[in-house]
Chain A
Amino acid sequence: MTSRVPTPSAPPRRMGLPLALSRPIAGLARLLSRATGREGGALPGKVLLTLSPNALATLARRGRARGRKIVLVSATNGKTTLTAMLAEMLAADGLDVVHNVTGANLRSGIATTLLRAGRRGDIAVLETDEATLPLVASDLEPDMIVLGNLFRDQLDRFGELEVLADRWHETLKRLDPERVTVVYAADDPLIAELVDEHVTRAATLGLTARVVPFGLADALVAQDGLPHAADSRFCRRCSHPLNYEHSWVGHLGAWSCPGCGFSRPEPIVSATHVQLDGLATTQMELDVDGEVVNLKLRIPGLYNVYNAVAAVAAVHTLGVPATVYADALTEASPAFGRFERIPVPHGGTVTLLLVKNPTGLNEVVRTLLASGVDVTATLFALNDHIADGRDTSWVWDADIEPLLKRAGAIVVTGERAAEFGLRAVYGGLEPEGVLLEEDLEQALYRVLERAREFTEHGHAYALVTYTAMLKMRAVIAAQGWAKSYWANEPRKRVRR
């Protein structure tokens, strides 16, 4: 049993250095951070926020004075991809888009992004950490908030899912319901309940809250049942177990509560027909507020269908025409480390798959297996730093058994490799099938060797937690197989 963690209040409005003075210092910090090769885009913002605690609000206000809108995107899973999709689609419409492309999604990272943008930009699309959303929202006063999903993740950091839901609840409470549009997953009962309260609260004040529910509507791609890791099995209002007509990803689905009658809001934007074609493409038909839109996505997985639907719901609301956003979405490539396929010398590839919580891992496994690819050469890297989650127990809550069965053996690496090795053994893998190689670089070579030796096309798959992904990416860059992290800067756009 746990106590509620109080919602953090905004930082004290104490006097820091005026923004004009601290900016050169932040610029210096930026140069330093590049020169020392630090991966995050967060240091300049951190310096800035230390010197000027109100910097976020100031930066946002300056942009707003010049008509720059702000969209905040938050979710447990998929927020980096979703934010990247949004940025692509808005840029295709000729907008100058400011975007925290490196996924630096805490206050410091967002401050860095806005600092770098200066006064530039028609719209800022900002990926925001789930726990940071309340603070960032009160500082930035966004025009739109996109709420993707809430899954069990990093319990060691957040306490528990309910704590996070309570914080989002507070965030919505502070919004002006008629100014801010809330784009949200109707399929997530936890989020739907928060938004429903937001709508009701506005109504009692005689206001109409601007909300845009999105969801899935294709029974053919539904799960057989709720997975073990499904978090929100009970009604937040009356505690009765929820009924699911269909579920698609984790606890996202067409739900209703037999106890109090609360049920999934009718989505305004939904995917009506979904066709998952291996790891290459996904075709889908969308119902966008009554209009049929066909989309093709070059990012695999049903969870990315959710990202696409969320992105369409947002840009449709912002007035981007379907002809523009559909093409842009097809151009969108996987975000850094998310189904990122990297060619290696002597033929073959390694595909990096970021995993960080049970639902995310379930979806990666499901997508890999449904695609029918040969998973003989598979690696799992488990680290336990803060960004990975210090508590490794989450790997036990994911359903990895089908992958283990298909793979037959798995290269296991990372600082908590042995823990994952045990997970695999108790998941039914023969103990000899656990190929323990704690050193990440050696493990990468070993899985590539397996790919060359045992598979037809030499494709290897590396499931990696966040810091393991950064490290593996660094090894790959050092080998010259792929560009470094810094090369992933946004493309310059020419205004239409």
Chain B
Amino acid sequence: MIDDDDVTRELNPVWVAPSVDEDPLASPVSVGARPRVRILHIYDRYLNIYADRGNIQLLRMRAGWRGIDVEVQGLEPGERFEPGDHDLLYIGGGQDRDQQMIAERMSEDLGDSIKAAAEEGTAILAVCGGYQLLGGGYLDTTGAMQPGVGLFDLTTEAGDTRLIGNVAIECELPAIGARAAVSATVAGFENHAGRTTLGSTSRPLGTVTYGAGNDGVSGVEGCRLHHAVGTYLHGPLLPRNPELADWLLAAALAHAHGVDAAAHIDTGGVVPGPVRALEARARAASIERAKAEKR
């Protein structure tokens, strides 16, 4: 197991707590003075099924509630990026064809950058197809191996049936600097034919309470390495799972402004009360479904 705290280095401007009430337009201070998180949405035109933009929009708004600016950039196949230039990488899921089209591009063009980014503590969220692409490869039904990025020690093999339904898992999200570790129930929806097997050095994102998870038999779901998370859960994932959303935001902020900044993303706090009520209800409804479904 790797110590999660070691990966965030102070590469970027030091954290200065913003004043949330301050009107940025009224202030003579340049926009650059506000803390900022830079998101790279990899292959956004190809990998965007399952409401991936909901996750991005959520990160934008939850950051905004805390006085943090968010920049989102897309990346086209053929383009490359520098590992230190972004604080959060987002990789969504795609339809079969779209994913086949970009699998090779991603591993060849972006593999080294993604791995380097993860090593230096960049937050990464990869959902469904994006999760599979970050593994060691995907063995499709024809027996052909599609390449993977190799960030996560795992492999995926196409199954005969799709694993479809609501899922609930239990997660432990580690401390980031002074920000305490968090335990959370994470709920979502899965729809995948791939069966993912974790390698011996991998740690899952969580243990399955209801639903299939990685392969329907191992009892685990997803994979986490440093601040990189891969999971089959969509819905989109983040709105009904605020602990995970804020943890990713804290990791991204730590990458952008130093590890002390992470503590600024506390749970709740600035999140409006009615939103917290909706989150709790949405997650409860999702868990109820996962529990009731016979699979």
Tell me whether B45 and A393 are in contact (CB under 8 A).
no
Decide if A422 is an interface residue (CB 8 Å cutoff). yes
CB distance from B142 to the nearest CB of A (A): 9
Q: B17-61 toward A: CB 8 Å interface, digit per residue (1/0)?
A: 000000000000000000000000000010011110110011001
Q: Which chain A residues border B50 with CB–CB below 8 Å?
A: 155, 391, 393
Q: Which chain A residues border B103 with CB–CB below 8 Å?
A: 1
Tell me whether B239 and A422 are in contact (CB under 8 A).
yes
Tell me whether A1 and B138 are in contact (CB under 8 A).
yes
Q: A417-448 toward B: CB 8 Å interface, digit per residue (1/0)?
A: 11101110111000110101000000000000
Tell me whether A416 and B285 are in contact (CB under 8 A).
yes
Considering the complex, give the chain A residue whose CB is closest to the CB of B99. Answer: A1
Contact of A1 among B57, B96, B272, B285 (CB under 8 A): B96
Q: Which chain B residues border A493 with CB–CB below 8 Å?
A: none
- Residues from 148 to 189 in B contacting A, C-beta threshold 8 Å: 156, 158-160, 162, 164-166, 189
Q: B277-288 toward A: CB 8 Å interface, digit per residue (1/0)?
A: 111011001100
Tell me whether A159 and B129 are in contact (CB under 8 A).
no
Decide if B95 is an interface residue (CB 8 Å cutoff). yes
Q: Which chain A residues border B141 with CB–CB below 8 Å?
A: 3-4
Q: Which chain A residues border B45 with CB–CB below 8 Å?
A: 233, 241
> Which of the segments B118-126, B191-199, B222-230, B249-257 contacts the partner chain?
B191-199
Decide if A152 is an interface residue (CB 8 Å cutoff). yes
Known: A3-B159, A426-B61. A434 touches B278 (CB 8 A): yes
Decide if A160 is an interface residue (CB 8 Å cutoff). yes
State how many residues of chain B have any CB contact under 8 Å with chain A. 54
Tell me whether A3 and B140 are in contact (CB under 8 A).
yes
Q: Which chain B residues border A393 with CB–CB below 8 Å?
A: 50-51, 54, 189, 234-236
Tell me whether B239 and A426 are in contact (CB under 8 A).
yes
Tell me whether B191 and A391 are in contact (CB under 8 A).
yes
State how many residues of chain A have any CB contact under 8 Å with chain B. 43
Tell me whether B158 and A156 are in contact (CB under 8 A).
no
CB distance from B84 to the nearest CB of A (A): 29
Tell me whether B274 and A1 are in contact (CB under 8 A).
no
Q: Which chain B residues border A425 with CB–CB below 8 Å?
A: 61, 274-275, 278
- Residues from 383 to 405 in A contacting B, C-beta threshold 8 Å: 384, 390-397
Considering the complex, give the chain A residue whose CB is closest to the CB of B138. Answer: A1
CB distance from A450 to the nearest CB of B (A): 18
Known: A418-B282, A422-B240. A432 touches B274 (CB 8 A): yes
Q: Which chain B residues border A162 with CB–CB below 8 Å?
A: 95-97
Q: Which chain A residues border B275 with CB–CB below 8 Å?
A: 422, 425, 431
- Residues from 135 to 192 in A contacting B, C-beta threshold 8 Å: 152, 155-156, 159-163
- Cα(A233)–Cα(B101), bound, Å: 13
Decide if B100 is an interface residue (CB 8 Å cutoff). yes
Decide if B146 is an interface residue (CB 8 Å cutoff). yes
Considering the complex, give the chain A residue whose CB is closest to the CB of B50. Answer: A393
Q: Which chain A residues border B95 with CB–CB below 8 Å?
A: 2, 160-162
CB distance from B226 to the nearest CB of A (A): 24
Decide if B203 is an interface residue (CB 8 Å cutoff). no
Tell me whether A390 and B138 are in contact (CB under 8 A).
no
CB distance from B286 to the nearest CB of A (A): 8
Decide if A457 is an interface residue (CB 8 Å cutoff). no
Contact of B189 among A4, A391, A423 (CB under 8 A): A391
Known: A162-B95, A416-B282, A425-B275. A5 touches B162 (CB 8 A): yes
Decide if B6 is an interface residue (CB 8 Å cutoff). no
Decide if A484 is an interface residue (CB 8 Å cutoff). no
Decide if A228 is an interface residue (CB 8 Å cutoff). yes
Q: Which chain B residues border A391 with CB–CB below 8 Å?
A: 50, 164, 189, 191, 234-235
Tell me whether B53 and A396 are in contact (CB under 8 A).
yes
Listed from nearest, the 5 A-B pairs whose CB atoms lie closest are A396-B51, A418-B281, A396-B54, A431-B274, A418-B282
A sample of 22 inter-chain contacts (CB < 8 A) reads A1-B96, A1-B100, A1-B146, A2-B194, A3-B141, A3-B159, A156-B164, A160-B49, A160-B95, A162-B96, A162-B97, A384-B289, A393-B51, A393-B235, A416-B285, A418-B278, A419-B235, A421-B278, A421-B282, A426-B58, A431-B272, A431-B274
Given A1-B103, A426-B239; 4 other pairs, CB 8 A cutoff: A159-B191, A159-B193, A390-B166, A393-B50
